Amino acid sequence: MQSHLVNKVRSSLESIGVKTSRKHSQSKNDTSNIRRRNKILALVLAGGQGGRLDVLTEQRAKPALPFGGTLRLIDFSMSNCHHSHLPDVWVVEQYEVHELNEHLANGRPWDMDRTYGGLQMLPPYEIHNKSKSDDGKKDQSENDDQGGFAKGNADAIYRQRRLLNQFSPDLLLVLSADHVYKLDYRDVIDFHKDHQADVTIVTTKVPEGDSPSRFGVVQVNEDGRVVNFEYKPKQPKSDLVTTEVFVYDYRKLMDTLDQLADDGELKDYGEDLLPNLVKEGNAWEFRLNSYWRDVGIPESYWQASMDLLSKKSELHLDDPQWPILTRSAQRLPAHLLDSARFENSLISPGCVIGGTVIRSILGPACIVDSGATVRDSILFDEVHVEEGAVIERSIIDEKVVIGKRATIGLGEKKELTMIGKNVKISPNSNVPAGEKIHPEKQDD
C-alpha cells in the first residue's frame, strides 16, 4: 500500500516538473546495477498495420508516423528506454518494415548501436520445418506458431519465444509504439519487484474527449491490485485504462501463453492473456498521472498534435532532462519571407513560408507560397502549398502538392480531411471536409 501511494505521489509531482528522488537513486545511471538485480528485456511491439489511421498508414508502419513536425511515434518508447538506461531493447516488426528500419538506424539516435546489447530488430521469419515432405509441402500441424505473421500483440510475443527463451530475461517490459507520453520505466520495474507481481499494468485516466471503449479498462482495489479487466467494453465500468505498458514476470508470462496456445489461437493481450492473469489475483496497477494519449485514430492523433500548441497542455517535449530523441535530416532553419504571417505554429527546419500559417504543424522542407493559408492542420515532410490555396483542419502526408487556389477541408462537416503520400491536387480543386484521398501507388 505504501509503495503504491509513494509512486502515485512521485508521478504527480514529476508531471508538474518537480524533481523527486527515486528508490536506489545512487545507481540511477548505473546500467550494470539493473543487470545485477534482474535481467530485463524491453520489447517494443511495432508490427501493427494501423488501419484505423486510414490513408496515413497505407504505405508506412504506424510507429513510423511523423509527430510534432520532426519526431516519429516510436521515438517516445525508444527515448523512454534510453533515459531509463535499459540495456537491451528489441523491436518486433511486421508491416512496412523498410521505412521503420531506416528511421531506427540500428539504434543510433538513442545510443543503442552497441556491440553487446542495445537495439535488436525482430522481423517476421520462417523456421526450418522438419515435417516438410519430399514434395516440399508443409505439415500445418507443426511449427505454425513460431515465426510468421502475428495476429495480435500476444501472438507477436509468443511467435518470438525461441529468441526470448535464449535471452531468458527475469522481467519482460512490453511496450507499444503508438502512444505519446514520458515515463521512467525503472519506477514501474521497482514497483513490480516490490509487489512480486505476475504482471504490472501501467494505467491512466482516459484522456479528455476520448472513450474508454477504445482501451482495456481496469478496476483496482485500494491497494492497487487489479480486480477486473475488460477489453474494449461497450459499457465501461471505469475510466481507468491501460497504457499498453506492462512488466511481466517472464516465466509466468510464457507459461500462461503456452496454456492459452494449447487451448486455441492467440491474438491480442486483452482477449485472454490479461483476463487470465487478473483472475489469478497477482496483477497490479502503476498509475501514470502525467500526459498520455493513444494516437491510433486520426482524431486522437490530430488532438495530440494540437496539444503541442496549447499553453495549458501537460505535453512538454523540450525538457532537457528528458528529451525525445530522433533521427532527422540536417537542414537549415526555416525561412520566413516578408509576406509570411503565422500564429501559434510549429515550423520545422527547411521550410519556406511566404503565406499564412495559423495553429498548424509543418514538417521539414514544407513550402507555403505567398497568398496560401494553412489553418488548424498538420503537414508532413515536403508538402508544397501553392499560391492562393487554403487548407483547414486537415492532415496532409509527405510530398503532396496542393495546386493554386485549391481548397482543402472546407465545409460544414467536422471530420478531418486526409490526403495520402505523393498526391497532386489540381489547381482550383475542392477537397471537402471529411474527404480521404489515398496515396499514389509506389513504383514496383
User: Residue 328: its pLDDT value, please?
Assistant: 87
Strand partners, 341: 356
Sequence letter at residue 311: K
Any domain includes 363: yes
Domains in the chain: how many in total? 2
pLDDT tens by residue, 411-430: 888 899 999 999 999 999 99
| 290-306 average pLDDT score | 96
Do 345 and 199 fall into the same domain?
Answer: no
Confidence of residue 170 (pLDDT cuts 50, 70, 90): very high
CA distance 157 to 176: 12
User: Residue 240: its pLDDT value, please?
Assistant: 97
Res 141 pLDDT > 80: no
Between 128 and 336, residue with greater pLDDT? 336
> What CA–CA distances, in Å, run from 10 to 15, 59, 79, 357, 404?
9, 41, 20, 39, 53
> What CA–CA distances, in Å, run from 435 to 57, 184, 414, 422, 432?
16, 40, 11, 16, 6
Q: How many CA atoms lie within 13 A of 129 on its CB side?
A: 19
Do 297 and 345 fall into the same domain?
Answer: no
Do 96 and 54 fall into the same domain?
Answer: yes
Beta carbons of 203 and 298 less than 8 angstroms apart: no
List CB contacts of 72: < 8 A, sequence separation 6 or more. 63, 64, 65, 66, 103, 326
Given the C-alpha cell 509504439, which residue does it identify? 177
Do 159 and 122 fall into the same domain?
Answer: yes
Residue 373 belongs to domain with CATH number: 2.160.10.10
- Full-model pTM: 0.88
| 3-10 average pLDDT score | 54
The backbone torsions φ and ψ at residue 319, rounded to the nearest 5 degrees and listed phi first, read -65, 115
User: Residue 149: its pLDDT value, please?
Assistant: 77
Confidence of residue 24 (pLDDT cuts 50, 70, 90): very low
Which set of grid coordinates corresponds to residue 80?
A: 523512454
| 242-247 average pLDDT score | 97
List CB contacts of 196: < 8 A, sequence separation 6 or more. 282
User: Residue 314: its pLDDT value, please?
Assistant: 84
Any domain includes 330: no
Given the C-alpha cell 497542455, which residue does it identify? 313
Sheet holding 373-375, edge to edge: 341-343, 356-358, 373-375, 390-392, 407-408, 430-431
| 215-227 average pLDDT score | 96
| 143-166 average pLDDT score | 83
Tally the residues of the chain: 444
Do 100 and 181 fall into the same domain?
Answer: yes
Res 367 pLDDT > 80: yes
Do 224 and 90 fall into the same domain?
Answer: yes
CA distance 101 to 72: 12
Element (H, E) at 81: helix 74-83
